[in-house]
């Protein structure tokens, strides 16, 4: 091993591409564009009730001609560098992490590879936009699929066309390739892409460590009561419903990021529902029969359990993502039964009720996709790794190919990251509920249609909900787009506060005040649309958590001493075990 005084080894210069190489890659790019155009035209022709568009072929040929012209200009520049590059592709951005290394720009060959790929990307996506006679939903599906292909064929994803991979392989004598291969084989054995160091975090050791007790358990969920840290707490307790698509500890990550710990420190009696992963041992529950009704009624059961335990008429409730959608249904169910007063206020973290603009997940709800989900659930539940792969596809460049490059091709060590550790801690989903959720909500958008859905025989009508609501959306959320979350404001009739937070579906929620990150927008001016809200909103730097806490206290400012049932296990429900409980560890 060389010491620090040794001169750095110089990588051998890359030989210039031959004429045959240039001809080959020009043909590859042209052929890819041609295949894309042909497929799009065939699809457009095959669409029912769509008359053929004579202009479609002309437009496609024009786009193909543009691509060939750009390709020829790139090729000519390689042969005669003094001509200069023929402009910058539209998809080229300074913050594109894939091409940050100097060699992508300084080495003529790799610069040509990069520019050729970006030109191909632009033309493939432009080809989708140029197709005529395609309805908007089909165009978006085609664009989503094309973008996935474009991300997959990036030269950064292949060892022979990535200068960083070549250089690192030379510097390490091939060890980086062997280490990357070991990483890949390990992931293949697990059936799941790894995003971080799996040994760095553990539930109960440095994740989900807020002190508390499991005080109630059903075959579907555990109820955790967290230990107060103040002498007095708000009269009205808080119950949090996390999504059962993931583990509850997204809201109780490391202590400095824990929403639960922070809320407890603000003087709130906090309860958390920890859902059981489908397929985990259960003699009382047939996972193949678990449906939407079971989760709504479970939320009602948790609310009633807390009310009875503490002797209070109502609770505050938080619903995150799918659990927020379910909380909206719970509110409608209670309102229909004249029991809406059981929930004093409802907070929605990145939750949707109107799925007409639900984003890229709508591309996974056609008949073929739904049939595939059914085929993948022969035992009554869907393996959570399939859902994880689906969410990764929504941001394939960041959540798939970034890790393929860094950990497979470059052989880098996995970095410890609590949020990504949680992201990989998957849960299985009841197949009947999952298919119903995709069909009834994402495909048919029934929840916003009064009476179109029911729970235990009671029709649901969101317009009857007058519970005060706090609605948080993420400005960059790709799972629950802010435009879609905004539509909650059009469904409820009670007082409502809407907050647009910086960042996305997870980081926009898990943003503790001490971090000083991002910001949020709020407005007291009535608005009919999200655009109108943004136009009148003021930006506040930092976390929105204090804004929510002020809103919650305004709903119920009364306080009570901490004693008796306010201490976990101190009331009529004895402690069953310490938090975080058993269900969060079940696979």
Residue 251 DSSP class: G
Q: Give the separation between CA 177 and CA 185, rounded to whole angstroms.
A: 12
Retrieve residue 511's tokens: 């943003």
Q: Give the separation between CA 530 and CA 533, rounded to whole angstroms.
A: 5
Is 520 a catalytic site residue? Answer: no
Assess contact for 392 and 399: CB atoms under 8 A: yes
Q: Give the separation between CA 60 and CA 132, rounded to whole angstroms.
A: 9
Instruction: Give ∠ CA 574-579-580 in degrees, rounded to 5.
Output: 140
Phi, psi angle pair for 286, to nearest 5°: -95, 105
Assess contact for 527 and 508: CB atoms under 8 A: no
Residue 194 DSSP class: -
Residue 584 DSSP class: G
Residue 305's CB is within 10 A of a number of other CB atoms, namely 18
User: Helices marked H in 227-290 — which ranges?
Assistant: 259-265
Cα 515 from chain centroid?
21
Torsion (CA) 61, 67, 71, 72 in degrees, nearest 10:
40
Retrieve residue 279's tokens: 């397929």
Residue 404 DSSP class: I
Name the catalytic one among 124, 260, 321, 552. Answer: 321
Task: Pick the closest to residue 468 from 489, 445, 447 (CA basis).
Answer: 489
Q: Give the separation between CA 132 and CA 61, rounded to whole angstroms.
A: 13
Assess contact for 73 and 86: CB atoms under 8 A: yes
Residue 357 DSSP class: T
3-state helix/strand/coil string of 73-133: HHHHHHHCHHHCCCCCCCCCCCCCHHHCCCHHHHCHHHHHHHHHHHHHHHHHHHHHHHCCC
Cα 58 from chain centroid?
39
At residue 510, the 3 state secondary structure works out as coil
Task: Pick the closest to residue 447 from 436, 462, 468 (CA basis).
Answer: 462
- List Cβ neighbours of 390 (8 Å cut-off, separation of 6 or more): 361, 364
**Residues annotated catalytic, as ranges:** 321
């Amino acid at each position: 091993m060389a010491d620090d005084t040794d001169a750095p080894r110089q990588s051998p210069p890359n030989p210039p591409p031959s004429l045959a190489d240039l001809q080959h890659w020009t043909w590859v790019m042209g052929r890819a564009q041609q295949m894309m155009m042909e497929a799009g035209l065939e699809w457009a022709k095959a669409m029912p009730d769509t008359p053929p568009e004579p202009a479609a072929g002309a437009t496609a040929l024009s786009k193909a001609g543009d691509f060939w012209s750009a390709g020829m200009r790139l090729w000519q520049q390689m042969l005669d560098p003094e001509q200069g590059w023929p402009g910058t592709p539209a998809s080229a951005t300074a913050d594109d992490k894939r091409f940050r290394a100097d060699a992508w720009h300084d080495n003529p060959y790799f610069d040509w590879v990069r520019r050729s790929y970006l030109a191909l990307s632009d033309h493939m996506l432009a080809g989708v936009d140029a197709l005529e006679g395609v309805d908007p939903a089909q165009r978006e599906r085609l664009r989503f699929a094309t973008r996935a292909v474009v991300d997959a064929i990036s030269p950064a994803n292949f060892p022979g066309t990535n200068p960083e991979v070549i250089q690192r392989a030379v510097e390490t004598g091939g060890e980086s390739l062997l280490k990357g291969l070991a990483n890949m084989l390990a992931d293949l054995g697990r059936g799941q892409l790894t995003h971080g160091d799996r040994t760095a975090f553990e539930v109960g050791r440095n994740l989900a460590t807020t002190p508390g007790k499991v005080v109630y358990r059903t075959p579907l969920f555990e109820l955790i009561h967290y230990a107060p840290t103040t002498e007095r707490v708000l009269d009205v307790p808080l119950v949090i419903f996390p999504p059962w698509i993931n583990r509850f500890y997204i809201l109780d990550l490391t202590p400095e990021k824990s929403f639960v710990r922070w809320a407890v420190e603000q003087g709130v009696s906090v309860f958390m529902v920890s859902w059981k992963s489908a397929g985990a041992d259960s003699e009382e529950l047939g996972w193949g029969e678990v449906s939407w009704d079971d989760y709504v009624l479970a939320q009602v059961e948790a609310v009633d359990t807390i009310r009875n335990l503490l002797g209070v008429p109502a609770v505050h409730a938080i619903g995150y993502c799918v659990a927020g959608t379910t909380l909206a249904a719970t509110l409608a169910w209670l309102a229909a039964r004249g029991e809406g007063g059981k929930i004093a206020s409802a907070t929605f973290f990145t939750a949707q009720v109107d799925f007409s603009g639900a984003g890229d997940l709508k591309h996974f709800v056609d008949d073929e996709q739904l049939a595939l989900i059914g085929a993948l659930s022969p035992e009554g539940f869907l393996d959570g790794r399939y859902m994880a792969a689906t969410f990764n596809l929504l941001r394939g460049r960041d959540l798939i190919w970034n890790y393929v490059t860094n950990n497979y091709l470059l052989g880098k060590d996995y970095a410890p990251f609590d949020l990504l550790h949680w992201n990989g801690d998957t849960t299985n989903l009841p197949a009947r509920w999952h298919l119903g959720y995709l069909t009834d909500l994402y495909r048919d958008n029934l929840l916003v249609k009064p009476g179109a859905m029911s729970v235990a025989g009671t029709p649901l009508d969101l317009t009857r909900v007058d519970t005060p609501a706090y609605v948080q959306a993420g400005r960059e959320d790709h799972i629950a787009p802010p435009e879609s979350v905004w539509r909650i404001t059009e469904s409820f009739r009670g007082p409502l506060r809407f907050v647009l937070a910086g960042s996305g579906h997870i980081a926009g929620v898990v943003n503790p005040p001490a971090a000083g990150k991002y910001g949020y927008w709020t407005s007291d001016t009535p608005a009919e649309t999200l655009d109108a809200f943004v136009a009148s909103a003021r930006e506040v730097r930092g976390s929105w958590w204090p804004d929510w806490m002020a809103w919650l206290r305004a709903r119920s400012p009364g306080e009570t001493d901490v004693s008796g049932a306010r201490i976990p296990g101190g009331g009529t429900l004895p402690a069953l075990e310490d938090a975080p409980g058993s269900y969060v560890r079940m696979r």
